Amino acid sequence: MKVPDLNFFLKTFLSLLVIFIICFTGILIGMLISDQAQSPGGDGVAVINVDGIIIDTDPYIKSIRKIRETDSIKAVVVRINSPGGSVATSQEIYEELKGLGETMPVVASMGTVAASGGYYVACAASAIYANPGTVTGSIGVIAQFASYEQLLKWAKVEVEVIKSGEFKDLGSPLRKMPEAEKAYLQTLIDSVHSQFKDTVAERRKLSPEKVASLSDGKIFTGSRAKELGLIDRIGTLETAIAEARRLSGLDEDSWIKEYPVKKKTLLDFVFPETLAEHAIFASPVKTGFGLYYIADVIY
C-alpha cells in the first residue's frame, strides 16, 4: 500500500491557504474602496454625530466646513450624545453650526444625553428634538481642582514655587486653594455662565428671568424640557431627519450621509463593532485650570 505523500498534502494546503488569503483580502479591499468612493446622486441630508465629551473641535469644524462646500447637502441634523465639554470648544461648534444655519436648515436631535455643552451646541439649531427620557439641561459651568497638599505633607515632600504674580499658579494641586483664588475663579465662572444663559435666552426666545431659574445646573428629561421651552418637540432621530427634509424641500427618501466621516480599515469589516462605540463617558476630574460646560452624568 502506497503511503500518502505528506509533502504533497502540506504544499496543497499551503497553496489553498494562500489563495484564500488573497481572495479574502481582495474582497475586503473592494468593500473598502466601494464604501469610501460611494457618492450618492441628487440632494440629501448630512447628519453630524457629536459624541462623548466635547474637547476636540477639529473633526466637527472640518465636517461643517465640508458640508458648507458640498452643494448637494441641503439640510443638517446634529445628533448629540454628549454630557458637554470645555467652554471654548462647545462655543466654537455652536458658532459654526449657527453660521451654517444661515445657509440651510439645521435641526438638533438629542440621544441619551445632551446636557450642558451638549445642550449649548443644540441651541444653534432652528428646531430641537429629544426623546421623552433624554437627559438634558444642566445649564451651568464647573471647574474642579484636586489638592495634594496633605499627601505631600504626609510624604514629607516640600515644593517651592517661584512665580511672576499672585495668580500665576492658579488652581495648583500642590496646595489648598486660597480664598482670593476662589473668588477670582468665581468671577470667571459667573462670566461664562452669563454667556450660556444669554445664548439660551436668545435662541430659545425665553426671558432672562426664566432662563436664570433653569440655570442652576439641574438636569431635565426631554418631556420636562419641552414643557419648559428648552426644546421644541419630542421625537427620534428619524423624526428630526424628516423635519430637515421637509424644511429643505427634499423627498422623504433622499439620501443621508454621516459626519465626521470615519476612515474605515480592513479591521472594521472584520470587527464592525468596537469598544469605542459602547464607551461610557463621565465627567473627568480636573487637576488643572479649565472651565467646563459639562454635566457629571454617566450614560
Residues 67, 131: Cα–Cα separation, whole Å: 26
Virtual CA dihedral for 160, 163, 166, 170, nearest 10 degrees?
A: -80
For every residue of 217-235, DSSP letters joined together read: S-EEEHHHHHHHTSSSEE-
- The verdict on whether 39 is a catalytic residue reads no
- The verdict on whether 116 is a catalytic residue reads yes
Catalytic residue selected from 168, 176, 182, 218: 168
Residues 91, 145: Cα–Cα separation, whole Å: 23
**CA-based torsion, 88, 92, 95, 101: positive or negative:** negative
Greatest CA separation found in the chain?
A: 99
Residue 199 in 3-state DSSP? helix
Residues 35, 71: Cα–Cα separation, whole Å: 21
Catalytic residue selected from 63, 90, 116, 138: 116
Closest alpha carbon to 244 in 75, 38, 64, 46: 75
Catalytic positions are: 116, 168
